[in-house]
Amino acid sequence: MTELTLFKSGAQLPDYLRGDTDEFTKRLAGSSGGKTISIKGGVWRMIVGGEEIAKNEDRAMNLVFVNAAPAVARTYYEGSYEEGQSTSPACFSADGKTPDSAIKTPQSNSCATCAQNIAGSGQGESRACRYSQRFAVVLEGDIGGNVFRLQLPAKSLFGKAEGDKMPLQAYAKFLAGHGVPMSGIVTEARFDTTEAVPVLKFRAVRPLTRDELAVSRTQGGSDDSTQAIEFKMVQKELPALPASFAKPALEAPAKATRAPVKPPEAAEEEEAPAPTKRATKKVDPPVTTTKDVGALLDEWGSDDE
């Protein structure tokens, strides 16, 4: 995507252009669904309505935090997941305590006791259920302009400070200890180049002016800010397979279960080898043909998307 000058952290947008999007631009843009700053791939990306419209490859960007979600959320994806994919989560929690009411088959009744919350349930020693928190931020050079969602993963949230570069929670505690509101400070967010995945560290750059602070607080109470921090996800359902294609898959196991006719005593003695024989018989041309048809239908379906 083409890099936009307005996305540079130090760019100044004229006052007469701020918040003055005309109606035809809104119609052409359609429903944006909010604006997001993504850190996928260690690059700052501006996402509007799910589409990347600009990127900034600088290591750091100066932001002002104007609002934050009230809790650290949790999200669990079955299998491997990469940021930016349209995969739906298998389970999620906005408050980090219990699964969302929209989840039909939650992994557990409590996030604290969930098997996906155990170290080692994910890759390496990580947890399969991931922490994240959403924030509403504005750019230093455009405090009165666009409000963006910035969603930070666990490594950008938790951890120890290293000099003046800190994970966000440590940074917030540092400011609170000095009686300074985060919404009143220009914060540098910088990629930690020692990490294999995108991780941000934060430090204070300068205090806002009195006028800038007033704008920052107004932005924090805006509808755009509320939308940015809202944790709202949809659990997609897989489409039902047509009955004509579902029947062959159901008939094969039924025939296999009727095959053993030995007395209960003999069946009990030969219980272990019996599955091996049935597994060998399953690899027949009819089953392979059904799989080939399904694969072909999947290919047709992928072409239509």
pLDDT digits (tens, 9 = 90+) for 234-255: 554 444 444 443 444 444 444 4
Tokens at 245, concatenated: 């294609």
Q: Taking the model in full, what pTM does it have?
A: 0.66
Which stretch of 23-32, 40-49, 85-94, 115-124 has the lowest confidence by average pLDDT? Answer: 23-32
pLDDT tens for 14-67 read 666 555 555 555 555 544 447 999 999 999 999 987 788 888 999 999 999 999
Question: CA of 206: how far to CAs of 179, 184, 258, in Å?
Answer: 15, 9, 77
Q: Which of 80, 77, 132, 90 is nearest to 236 (CA)?
A: 90
**pLDDT digits over 131-154, tens only?**
899 999 999 999 999 999 999 999
Distance CA 226, CA 210 (A): 23
pLDDT of residue 158: 93
For residue 192, pLDDT over 70 is answered with yes
**Among 70, 36, 54, which Cα is nearest to 151's?**
36
Question: What is the per-residue DSSP string for 188-216?
Answer: EEEE-TTSSS--EEEEEEEEPPHHHHHHH
Q: What is the pLDDT of residues 269-304, one digit of tens each?
A: 334 344 444 444 444 554 444 445 445 445 544 444
* Separation of alpha carbons 176 and 135, rounded Å: 17
